[in-house]
Amino acid sequence: MDDSIRTVMKRGFAVLVVAALAMALAPRLRAEGAEPVPSGAHAVRGAEGLAAPSAIALATPQILATQTPTPIPTATKFETPSPSKTSGGTPLPHPSGNAVFFSAEVLDVQHGYIFFSTGDAFKLAPNAHSVWIDNGQPAPLPSTRMYAQAIFDATGQIIELQVAKHPLPFNAAYAAAAHKYAVALSPAVPNNDQWPAALGSSKLNSSRMPLTGKIVSVRFVVEVPPTTPLSDAVYMSTDVSGWNPQAIRMERIDALHYSVTMPLRTGTAFAYKYTRGSWQSEERSKAGIAEPPRHFFLGSSPFGEPDTTVRDDTVYNWADFNPAGGEQLVPGATPTPFNPMPFGFPTPLPAPPKH
Amino acid sequence: MRPLTLAAITLLLFSVVAKPLPASAQIDTIVVRAGRIGFYSSHYIVTADGNVRVTLSDGTTISGRYFEMDLKMNRFVVAGGVSVVHGSYEYSGAAFGEFLDLKRGYFLPATPEPDRWTFLDSDYAKPVKGREMPGDAFNMPETGVEHPFILAKEATIIPKTGIALKPARIYTEGVYVPTPSYYQNFSPNPYLVQNGLAGATGGVGYPFFGGPHSTTTLFGRYDSTNKTYLAIEQNFGWQNAYLVASISPLTRPDKEYNLLGLIKTRNQRFQVSTFEQLNTLQSGFSEPLYSTALENLQLTYGLKNSFLQLTANQYHQDLMAEPLSGTYGGHPFIPNHPNNFELAWVGANQRISKYVPISFRLRGGLLTAHDTFGLGTFDGTPYTSYWQHFLGFTIFSDPYNLTPHAAFDQAVSFSVTYDRQRTFVSSFPRFQDQSTLTAVLSKLQGHKGSMYLAYTVTNEGDYLGALQPVIYPPTVFNNPYNGQTYPGFAAFDGFVTLRTLQYSYTYTPTPYFSFTFVAEKHKDFPDPIPYYWGNPPYDVTGRIQARISPILSVLVQRSYFFNFGPQGWNQWTIQFGP
């Protein structure tokens, strides 16, 4: 007995080591594209149009066009801008005169203008030149999907483009300063879709508070039927995980509750259902019906965006619950006249040997 | 020609020539053709470059150098030398962005000077010039250094539903494997992903065809009996209904033909679901050597705080004619075709009082079974049908927080659940009782760990009155597997008691990985018999579940039984799942 316990403990330790290794590998797997779910990592886009990369799992924000007034810092591997570029939007000294720096993704260069993903078009000076930002070597004019940092002269024309194939740091203050140089044939017309007017009428977020994509700790707590087997796991299945019935495993809080906590950005929206690991054991409503998915939207309150929030749900029934007891029919079940078994219950003999 | 007539003809010609495509049309499909299309499945992003041509379902075409669409956000951008053709209207510019959900199109014309145009309600004939644009109108999400999951030349995107790519080269272990087509469903409707397959240890799906309401998937699967084989599944899904048909294995003689279906009313009150399975032993699709089947139909009607459910099952033990030899290739012919019907009422949770933290739920129903060929014998009498009815209840407490001042993630709670059901067999003097009492002590250990200690007592009793010793005669059991005799078994007379003390600890560092350790102590009456009956005195189980991709997870489990004859280590369980 003692030997067997020692053997088991040794092997148990081996299992724990394997578990630790698997845990260590898990982030790497995710980083390599084994996207955690809710997957998609769709951050709320800032007004400057650059998505904020995120190491956390994010679901899909749905109403971004009208709700993203505040830029989100963009993390890149690029070096920090030189000190001369960090004092706001005030024109700074430059060999060819005062300069404003503006960086963004390039959409196109046409007819002497360069178009950025911010929607701004700027005129290129006749003597404008282009260099690679990484080594200062001459470069061709940027094309679609390249990134460029533009330096303007006093007339508002671009005299130099520093180009790269990777995202560049964005300075909202400079963007605002450069915006006055943007060329547009038609006079500006207000956009009623833009926050705050549209936000107030939004069904999803009626608080009239802006959504900045702030990361919020969201805890989902679900109450399950008292007949739920103790040893069963409960999962969240979401549309952003392709309705995988085992997408997000929840942990047991007590005999009736499971929970999972996820960092999500404000603006995140997704649909979800609870399962016990398969669609044959998905949740059912109080009326025993397979109801449409639940919907979650991480909005704001009249006091602003929360730091944490809790979503409470109740599962009233499971699809595989058989009121009379016995085995529920599932795909793969073996046809038998005694299913559910009318005779012999609960005789323990004779069961076939199992090896 | 009269001026009026001339004006009318001119107006008519103008209306024909300059007639725009229908305004405010819903964009149902987006067809993208390009030199290279990449689909990043983990981000739901599609990119295209090289002579990009985008055709919308209203006939509008947009061409340019680069295309990118965020399928979940339902918006796309075409950039670089963009040309938009909508009926007789043609625009050229630097970029075009469309927010399909908001029906807002944003366009940057380039000539004679740059400008900003907005198309409202997908009406590309009426640009609103100068209207301010959201800052992310032309945002193109980064895909980083990740390899596209699929490379293709043509993509048909059904917004908020799915994407079909062809020819599709699928990224597999560093290599792009050429295939004719690939369809990825990303619909918010879960009815397009219901699965009718079961039983395999692992498998990989290849959805090669699909549409707004259907998906066809070929599976490569493995199980210990059939080894590696192919299976096929056809899904149909609508707002309130689904149908799934499958054949598995497709390439092995022992086949299962499955059909799953569900339909419900819009008011979510009435639902019909079905499950049909035909099992055959056949080479290819030739005449089967034998065939069995089961049919299940379930009707559910929701009442206020309860529901009624009618379940009908029909089993066919052999669908082939009886052979002269009495066997089909070694399989004995079984003539039985039993069926059963169950009508059940299931109540919802009801609280005893708002001041008492105890709730209950009730259930009850009728059940009948029939088989012309006989269901079995009882006390020497063969029966072809029987009736039974049952009543049951569950009473349970709210989890009581034993540490009211502790933080949420350190709380300790206690709860008790008692479930009891009595089943009366109407056809003969017999009733059966089953009761389970469970007390659970739960504790969270931070946000990553949780444990519980549970004590469960299950009693099962078969009450037969005077027939008790006839049906359950005193028996001294001799186990042929270890030669051991169990004289205590003679005390068994139809009543079973199972007691289990269970400790479980689960460590969940992320929602995508968990490690569970379970230790159990059992005390059964009658005493357990290895390989035959009951639980080992002690057992421990380790279980690891990890998600290794958005569509694939793995479960590894193994148990050890203490003092249970030759049964020590159980076999490894390695299960690949969705």
User: What is the per-residue pLDDT across B530-545, written as a single tens digit (0 to 9) for each?
Assistant: 777 788 999 999 999 8
Q: How far is CA A196 from CA A49, A51, A201, A206, B85, in A?
A: 18, 21, 9, 10, 34
pLDDT-derived band at A349 (thresholds 50, 70, 90) equals very low
| Cβ(B450)–Cβ(B431) below 8 Å | no
Q: Which of B512, B520, B531 to mutate to test the interface with A (most CBs of A within 10 A)?
A: B512
Domains and CATH numbers, chain A: 33-69+194-327 (2.60.40.10), 83-179 (no CATH)
Tell if the CB–CB gap between A329 and B275 is shorter than 8 Å.
Answer: yes
Within 10 angstroms of residue B494's Cβ, the number of other Cβ atoms is 20
Least confident of A38-42, A279-283, A321-325, B398-402: A38-42
Start-to-end CA distance of chain A, whole Å, equals 23
| Residue A162 C-alpha, separation from nearest chain B C-alpha, in angstroms | 19
| Cβ(B547)–Cβ(B509) below 8 Å | no
CA distance A309 to B166: 43
Angle at B71 between CA B65 and CA B76, to 5 degrees: 35
- Comparing A10 with A50, the larger pLDDT belongs to A10
Pairing of strands A308-314, A215-223: parallel
What pLDDT sits at residue A194? 58
List the CATH number of the domain containing B55. Answer: 2.60.450.10
Model confidence over B423-445: pLDDT tens digits?
Answer: 888 777 788 888 999 999 999 88
CA distance B213 to B578: 21
Tell if the CB–CB gap between A347 and B526 is shorter than 8 Å.
Answer: no
* pLDDT above 50 (res A13): no
Q: Which residues of B touch A211 (CB under 8 A)?
A: none
Mean pLDDT of A188-203: 57
What pLDDT sits at residue B174? 83
Model confidence over B367-376: pLDDT tens digits?
Answer: 888 888 887 7
What pLDDT sits at residue B9? 54
| Residue B578 C-alpha, separation from nearest chain A C-alpha, in angstroms | 6
Mean pLDDT of B538-564: 85
Count how many domains chain B has.
1
Q: Which residues of B touch A167 (CB under 8 A)?
A: 142
Mean pLDDT of B69-82: 93
pLDDT-derived band at A21 (thresholds 50, 70, 90) equals very low
Mean pLDDT of A4-33: 43
Mean pLDDT of A110-117: 91
B93 found inside a domain: yes
pLDDT-derived band at A99 (thresholds 50, 70, 90) equals low
Model confidence over B154-176: pLDDT tens digits?
Answer: 999 999 899 999 999 998 878 89
Range of the domain at B150: 24-158
**How deeply is B157 buried, as exposed, middle or buried, from its count of CB atoms within 10 A (0-12, 13-18, 19+)?**
buried
Average of per-residue pLDDT values in chain B: 87
| Nearest chain B residue to A47, by CA | B135
Within B325-479, residue ranges assigned H as helices are: 468-471
Contacts of B366 (CB under 8 A, 6+ apart): B342, B343, B387, B388, B389
Least confident of A199-203, B89-93, B94-98, B519-523: A199-203
pLDDT-derived band at B338 (thresholds 50, 70, 90) equals confident
pLDDT-derived band at A281 (thresholds 50, 70, 90) equals very high
* pLDDT above 80 (res B388): yes
| Nearest chain A residue to B564, by CA | A1
Tell if the CB–CB gap between B302 and A285 is shorter than 8 Å.
Answer: yes
CA distance B209 to B320: 35
B540 found inside a domain: no
Model confidence over A249-275: pLDDT tens digits?
Answer: 888 888 899 988 888 888 888 899 999
| Nearest chain A residue to B43, by CA | A40
Q: Does B82 touch chain A (CB under 8 A)?
A: yes
Model confidence over B269-298: pLDDT tens digits?
Answer: 999 999 999 999 888 899 888 888 989 999
| Cβ(B203)–Cβ(B222) below 8 Å | yes
Of B141, B193, B534, the CB nearest to A51: B141
* pLDDT above 60 (res B329): yes
Contacts of B267 (CB under 8 A, 6+ apart): none
CA atoms within 13 A on the CB side of A50: 25
| Residue A183 C-alpha, separation from nearest chain B C-alpha, in angstroms | 6
Least confident of A59-73, B40-54, B463-477: A59-73
B73 found inside a domain: yes
B284 found inside a domain: no
B86 found inside a domain: yes
Q: Which of A250, A256, A355 to mutate to test the interface with B (most CBs of B within 10 A)?
A: A256
pLDDT-derived band at B241 (thresholds 50, 70, 90) equals very high
3-state secondary structure B165-223: EECEEEEECCEEEEECCEEEECCCCHHHCCCCCCCCCEEEEEEEEEECCEEEEEEEEEE
Residues 122-161 of A with CB under 8 A from B: 143-145
Average of per-residue pLDDT values in chain A: 66
pLDDT-derived band at B24 (thresholds 50, 70, 90) equals low
Of B132, B296, B442, the CB nearest to A194: B132
What pLDDT sits at residue B435? 92
Q: Does B418 touch chain A (CB under 8 A)?
A: no
- Comparing A12 with B158, the larger pLDDT belongs to B158
pLDDT-derived band at A68 (thresholds 50, 70, 90) equals very low
| Cβ(B439)–Cβ(B416) below 8 Å | yes
Q: Which of B226, B233, B366, B547 to mutate to test the interface with A (most CBs of A within 10 A)?
A: B547
B38 found inside a domain: yes
What pLDDT sits at residue A198? 41
* pLDDT above 60 (res B114): yes
Of A111, A338, A350, the CB nearest to B110: A111
| Residue B135 C-alpha, separation from nearest chain A C-alpha, in angstroms | 4
Q: Does A24 touch chain B (CB under 8 A)?
A: no
* pLDDT above 90 (res B364): yes
CA distance A344 to B128: 78
Of B66, B94, B413, the CB nearest to A110: B94
* pLDDT above 60 (res A338): no
* pLDDT above 80 (res B147): yes
- Comparing A197 with A171, the larger pLDDT belongs to A171
Q: Which residues of A touch B303 (CB under 8 A)?
A: 287
B45 found inside a domain: yes
B521 found inside a domain: no
| Cβ(A102)–Cβ(B123) below 8 Å | no
Measure the CA dihedral B244/B250/B255/B261, to 10°: 0
* pLDDT above 70 (res A29): no
Least confident of A52-61, B162-171, B219-228: A52-61
The pTM for the full model equals 0.76
What pLDDT sits at residue B81? 94
What pLDDT sits at residue A39? 33
- Comparing B358 with A242, the larger pLDDT belongs to B358
Tell if the CB–CB gap between A108 and B193 is shorter than 8 Å.
Answer: no
What pLDDT sits at residue B550? 59
Model confidence over A145-192: pLDDT tens digits?
Answer: 899 988 888 888 898 899 998 888 777 767 777 778 888 888 888 877
What pLDDT sits at residue A209? 56
Model confidence over B389-416: pLDDT tens digits?
Answer: 899 999 999 999 999 888 877 889 999 9
What pLDDT sits at residue A177? 75
Within 10 angstroms of residue B217's Cβ, the number of other Cβ atoms is 21
Torsional sign, CA A225, A228, A233, A236: negative
